[in-house]
Amino acid sequence: MAAPAKIKIRKNDTVMVIKGRDRGKTGKVLRVLPGEGRLVVERLNMVKRHSKPRGPQSPGGIVDKEAPLRISNVMYFCDRCNAPVRIGVKRADDGARSRICRRCGEALGND
């Protein structure tokens, strides 16, 4: 298996789903799983899980939770462009790296 590509999407980024049953929806990234090439997005790709009762504090039942999506199925959502965009990396004179929007050239907020 080939090594996974560098992941440019981070926790708390806003992404838009571009493939699958949730196509066109946007949400905030809750977790990034770089080893698997997946990420979990808030309130997207919901699945039902059955949980066993574990005492009076946690009764059993059917629980809705977010399942991981493949990173290739989402794109960063730029607030300024109001569209899904590719992410670039720009180096400053002092060597610091910052992520930029490839469409408008604006630095992304979560750096």
Q: If you ran DSSP here, which 8-state letter would residue 107 be given? A: B
**pLDDT tens-place string over residues 7-26:** 899 999 999 999 999 999 99
Domain coordinates of the chain in residue numbers? Answer: 14-50+61-85
**pLDDT tens-place string over residues 46-98:** 999 999 999 999 999 999 999 999 999 999 999 999 999 999 999 999 989 99
Alpha carbon of residue 110 to chain centroid: 13
What pTM was estimated for this model as a whole? Answer: 0.88
Q: With respect to CATH, is domain 14-50+61-85 assigned 3.90.25.10?
A: no
Q: Do 76 and 83 touch, CB atoms closer than 8 A?
A: no
Strand, helix or coil at 73? helix
Token pair in block for residue 35: 């080893």
